[in-house]
Structure 1
Amino acid sequence: MVPAAAAAQLGALAALLVIFIPMAMAGYHLSRNKMLFFSGALFISLAVFVHLTPYFPLHFLLPSTSPSTSSSPPLPPLPLSCLTSLHTSLHFHPNTPTSFSFSSASCHFRPLSPSSASDLLNGSLILIAGDSQSRLFALSLLALLLPPSDLPPAESALFRRHSDYQISIPESSIDLHFLWSPFESNLTSLLRTTPSPPPDVLVAGSGLWHMLHVNDPVHYSRQLSAVRAAADLLLPPPPPPHLFWLGLPELVGPMLNTEEKRERMNLTVSRRYEREGRRMGRSSGGPFFYLDVGMMTRRCGEACTADGMHYDRAVYDAAVQVMLNALLIESRQRV
């Protein structure tokens, strides 16, 4: 049996002999009439194409549509289990508590570099609202997005007592707004009046001020229900914003800096508040991806806090990386 490639070569050669020899002869006789010559040449060329087409594979005639040659092939979606394992795969190093890593190889978690984080958030409006924990989270995110020389003045402006803050990062077209909202009612009002279009990423958290000044977990739960209802209204527009809830940190009672705090923000009360806050997460039917700051602070330990409430930046750096990895997973699921 003659191989297909050899058959194609023989067919092409026969076509050349049968078609082009008569074409040359016709050209010789018609050379005095150029219009007649070109008309004849066009007719014969079409005949050549028709006769030769069966001898060439289709992929020589049409552009390739193979995924392997695509410049940006779609990434396969990651399983939902990757979202639920983000926190369990996060580890603080015992000898160097200011550093952390991810241990889940199957989900490809990794701390994003400044350039990768800027690419991921490029063109985004980021709204961060809450108390001092949210402010520390905003600082860690800015530390990743800003050049090192720009961070000190940004930190000074961000930490003006009980004030809002906003910054635009031209290099990545990112706008970041921090809104001082220490009580849950502040967050509810904010969510109900969020301008259109809504932010691309919203990070919120509260509870410390309520625990100190109201000290009633049942009332706190009712206030969170109002926040959840307001956040639900942000979800219908396509695409919906990415919502994150900052959980409460582990409070170290003896280290708190006033007697009132040590009395009202004891371990029993703070754990009840933390449980109520978890209901904001999707696993409990809430609209937010829950950033488990309580787990992170417990893993980092008492060595990571100087006042029993506010922790070293490594904790908030880790929370930022959990958020960024969650955004990566969700963006691949939406493809």
Structure 2
Amino acid sequence: MFGAVQFGLLAAGIVLFVPMGMAGWHLSRNKMLFFSCALFITLAVGVHLTPFFPSISDFLYKPYSISDSSLPTGTASSSMIRDSCIYSLHSVVMYKSNYSECVNGAIDSNSDSGCKKMSWKWTQSGSIAECEFQKLKKPDVSVLLNGSWVVVAGDSQARLMVVSLLELVMGSEEIKKIRGDLFKRHSDYSTTVDEIGMKLDFMWAPYVRNLTNLMLEFKENKDYPDIILMGAGLWDMLHVNNASDYGVSLSALKDSVLALLPVFRNKDSIDRGVSESAWIRSPHLFWLGMPVLINSMLNTEEKREKMNAVMCNAYDDEVSRTKLLRQSGGPLLKLDIHWLTDLCAPQCTADGMHYDGVIYDAAVQIMLNALLLESNQKPR
């Protein structure tokens, strides 16, 4: 394929050498000048019109592909490819687990039945396949999260995300040992995975104002996590049941999150007089969306009355309206639990609100692949 520079050199060569060749055939000077001018004008017009003919443009200008190793890191093209892949992360399908998947470790820590009833995978259409999404195993996750401070804040949905993340890092047997502490009602939980130096804090924060206060606390202490995953709305819907007030709280949360960007790595770096440019960075920020609520399966009359489809849609609309999410120009990348649960409901839930581990496993893998894309890494 010709590039623009090569095509220009070819055109210049034709303009220069063809008239010289014609002169060698003893054509008259007037004929040679006429032909030269005609040739030059034709080529000039052709070059300017080429962009308007896609078939010619495609021939002359070869586009970069996601797998092209010559793509320079940090270019506008690589940024566009990365963003395209990030917004394709939820392109998954759910299917019934087979026997071999259960034998090979598709165990549900959140279910008494043992084997996960459903499994998931990314779709393999052309553009999505080029993103090379992968279900990361423990070795790759250990490298990716090595030395990281991860904060997960929210309600029971966020707690289930912690289960899936720790199961991936520590194994299902270790999760059984800590499950009692992790699931103490309405409590925080902290652990350190010594093997990789990862610190994980779960903050019980069922209301958006709790999340806002947590962001303000990080700002005040000048000590910030590497990864913040947060989400709230179910408790607000049940106990407040006012979408407009929820939107006001989301706007305040957005302001508190934006105040973190960019941030200092830690307070000690400032005290030691380390230059600002050497320490500024930003945490990776994720928003945990609300699940599909199956009204007929909710376990109390109050929930069935207040957490109906109309109210769920109103709360989702407030998330979009406040532009909290990166998809609408905000700071947080959404993990779309609503979409994932919609693919699996109702066979993946016993109470219409809390879902089997397959949902949160998929959300964790989507988050980890987003981290890989944002840090320009690939698993080993």
Pair in the same fold by TM > 0.5: yes
User: Is residue 285 from structure 1 mapped to residue 329 from structure 2 by the alignment?
Assistant: yes
Residue number in structure 1 paired with 2:139: 115
- Give the partner amino acid of 1:98: M
- Give the partner amino acid of 2:122: F
What is the Cα deviation at residue 239 of structure 1? 1.7
Residue by residue over 1:118-175, the C-alpha shift from the partner in whole angstroms, topping out at 9 and shown as x without a partner, is 1111100000000011001111101101133311122221100000000000111100
Residue by residue over 1:163-196, the C-alpha shift from the partner in whole angstroms, topping out at 9 and shown as x without a partner, is 0000000111100000000011111111000133
Residue number in structure 1 paired with 2:269: none
- Give the partner amino acid of 1:215: N
- 2:309 aligned to which of 219, 242, 267: 267
- Give the partner amino acid of 2:180: S
User: Is residue 98 from structure 1 mapped to residue 123 from structure 2 by the alignment?
Assistant: no
Confirm or deny: 8 A CA contact 1:247 1:277 kept in the other structure.
no
- 1:221 aligned to which of 239, 247, 253: 247
What is the Cα deviation at residue 74 of structure 1? 7.2
What is the Cα deviation at residue 105 of structure 1? 1.2
Residues in 2 aligned to 1:99 and 1:75: alpha-carbon distance in whole angstroms: 35
Residue number in structure 1 paired with 2:366: 322
- Give the partner amino acid of 1:127: V
Residues in 2 aligned to 1:304 and 1:169: alpha-carbon distance in whole angstroms: 30
User: Is residue 80 from structure 1 mapped to residue 122 from structure 2 by the alignment?
Assistant: no
**Secondary structure, counterpart of 1:304 in structure 2:** coil
Residues in 1 aligned to 2:367 and 2:166: alpha-carbon distance in whole angstroms: 14
Identify unmatched segments of 5+ residues in structure 2: 1-71, 99-116, 264-279
- Give the partner amino acid of 2:86: L
Percent of aligned positions that are identical = 45
Confirm or deny: 8 A CA contact 1:248 1:277 kept in the other structure.
no
**Secondary structure, counterpart of 2:129 in structure 1:** coil
**Secondary structure, counterpart of 1:296 in structure 2:** helix
User: Is residue 200 from structure 1 mapped to residue 203 from structure 2 by the alignment?
Assistant: no
Residues in 2 aligned to 1:137 and 1:125: alpha-carbon distance in whole angstroms: 16
Aligned length: 260
Residue number in structure 2 paired with 1:210: 236
Residue number in structure 2 paired with 1:47: none
**Secondary structure, counterpart of 1:179 in structure 2:** strand
Residues in 1 aligned to 2:192 and 2:97: alpha-carbon distance in whole angstroms: 37
Residues in 2 aligned to 1:191 and 1:124: alpha-carbon distance in whole angstroms: 18
**Secondary structure, counterpart of 1:332 in structure 2:** coil
- Give the partner amino acid of 2:150: I
**Secondary structure, counterpart of 2:347 in structure 1:** helix
Aligned CA RMSD, in angstroms, stands at: 1.8
What is the Cα deviation at residue 94 of structure 1? 4.9
Alignment of 1:101-180 (within 5 A): 101-103=121-123, 104-180=128-204
Confirm or deny: 8 A CA contact 1:140 1:316 kept in the other structure.
yes
**Secondary structure, counterpart of 1:178 in structure 2:** strand
What is the Cα deviation at residue 230 of structure 1? 0.6
Residues in 1 aligned to 2:337 and 2:217: alpha-carbon distance in whole angstroms: 27
Residues in 2 aligned to 1:75 and 1:148: alpha-carbon distance in whole angstroms: 38
Larger radius of gyration: 1
- Give the partner amino acid of 2:234: L
What is the Cα deviation at residue 320 of structure 1? 0.3
Scaled by the length of structure 2, the TM-score of the pair is 0.66
Residue by residue over 1:282-311, the C-alpha shift from the partner in whole angstroms, topping out at 9 and shown as x without a partner, is 121221001100000001121011000001
Identify unmatched segments of 5+ residues in structure 1: 1-72
